[in-house]
Structure 1
Amino acid sequence: MSRIAIPDALAHNPYGFASQTHAIPIMAAAAGFSHAVYRDSGLSLREFEGARMRTAQINGCMICRDFRAARDAGAMFTVPGEPAQRSVINNGPAPAEEFYEAVARWRASPLFSERERLAIEFAERFAEQPQVLSQDEPFWARMHGVYADGEIVDLAHCVAAWIGLGRVAHVLGFDTVCLAMPQTEAAQ
């Protein structure tokens, strides 16, 4: 249920309606941040998706839980008729569905590499315990053992975007419609 008034004719795209009618500069900046995350992250697609899915689970955002970057990012972040943009979806093989299903139980699942496991743990702790995470020296030693500083900054900004924008979508009730679907499908 949307927490702002959305005209019935635009119920298929509540986020789009809000971005064109309310807090327009802020919504544009949020879209730019989101696009930058999907376009410019240097993380492997599996690391990216593991951290993104764990954030989605914590946020409760239905759009984010159903989203699969390899399947959906192209439709969201490209303009028909224009050349494909650089994207995280080119950063390695797409995870299988069992990967997404295992993210909630990442500690016990054998499906994740050390880097993937650390990306998921980072996302979880960033979302739930940022003060504890910032002071956990053993965790940071593990992170620095496999991630370069630039990769850590990349991951932190990706998680920040997902936490903030996913919570906006969930709290305002914009996550009842998958934004990755083309408009014609969403309206049906």
Structure 2
Amino acid sequence: MRFNIQRHYPAMQPLIDLGRAVHDAGRLEPALIQLVLMRVSQINGCAFCLDMHSKDARAAGETEQRLYLLPAWRETKLYSEREQVALQWAEELTELAGAEPVSDALYEKAKNVFSEQELVDLTLLTVTINSWNRINIAARTIGGYYKPASH
């Protein structure tokens, strides 16, 4: 590890608060939130966040099968339409170098399954996990040791 980000959490309190606000708002389903956190962390290759969110998802009742198949979510029927749109939104917002990031076609699809406030929450969730991924990658935070809170 290059540096211990936990020692500097007071400086990151706004990011912590933003993530907590999205979770606590209750507009997005907990399973959808965990899938987005996992998928973005997969794209970014953040071992610490993958460790954390896979364990949190399992502790919250997510199935191993859905977690294992998440990188291939388009090729399975295991995810609801709402989850599929959320995953596509998160992917396009994470991979901004694409042909048309966060395309108009995706926005049209998203506004049919999410309210405007839910879409804002989904966007903030994606921005927040992208930030945490980059912080943990820069710090070289080691994955594999996270313990989820007991439910």
Q: Deviations over 1:6-46 (max 9, x none)?
A: xxxxxxxx332333xxxx4x222222223323333421122
Query: Alignment partner of 2:74: what SS?
Result: coil
Q: TM-score, normalised by structure 2?
A: 0.82
Tell me the number of residue pairs that the alignment of Structure 1 and Structure 2 aligns.
Answer: 146
Q: Check conservation: 1:47, 1:119, Cα contact below 8 A.
A: yes
Identity %: 23
Aligned positions of 1:23-62 closer than 5 A: 24=10, 26-62=11-47
Please say which of residues 31-40 and 100-109 is displaced more in the overlay.
31-40
Report whether the alignment pairs 1:100 with 2:67: yes
Confirm or deny: 8 A CA contact 2:5 2:139 kept in the other structure.
no
Which stretches of structure 1, 4 residues or longer, exceed 4 Å deviation after superposition? none
Q: How does 1:12-27 map to 2 (within 5 A)?
A: 14-19=4-9, 24=10, 26-27=11-12
Q: What are the superposed Cα offsets for residues 121-145 of structure 1, whole Å, 9 maximum, x if unpaired?
A: 11111100277234x2221111111
Q: Is the 8 A contact 1:51 1:120 kept in 2?
A: yes
CA RMSD after TM alignment: 2.3
2:101 matches 1:154: no
Gaps of 5+ in 2: none
Q: Any conservation in 2 of the 1:61–1:175 contact (CA below 8 Å)?
A: no
- Pair 1:113–1:176, CA change in 2 (3 A): closer
User: Which structure would you say has the larger Rg?
Assistant: 1
Q: Conserved in 2, the CA contact under 8 Å of 1:61 and 1:166?
A: yes
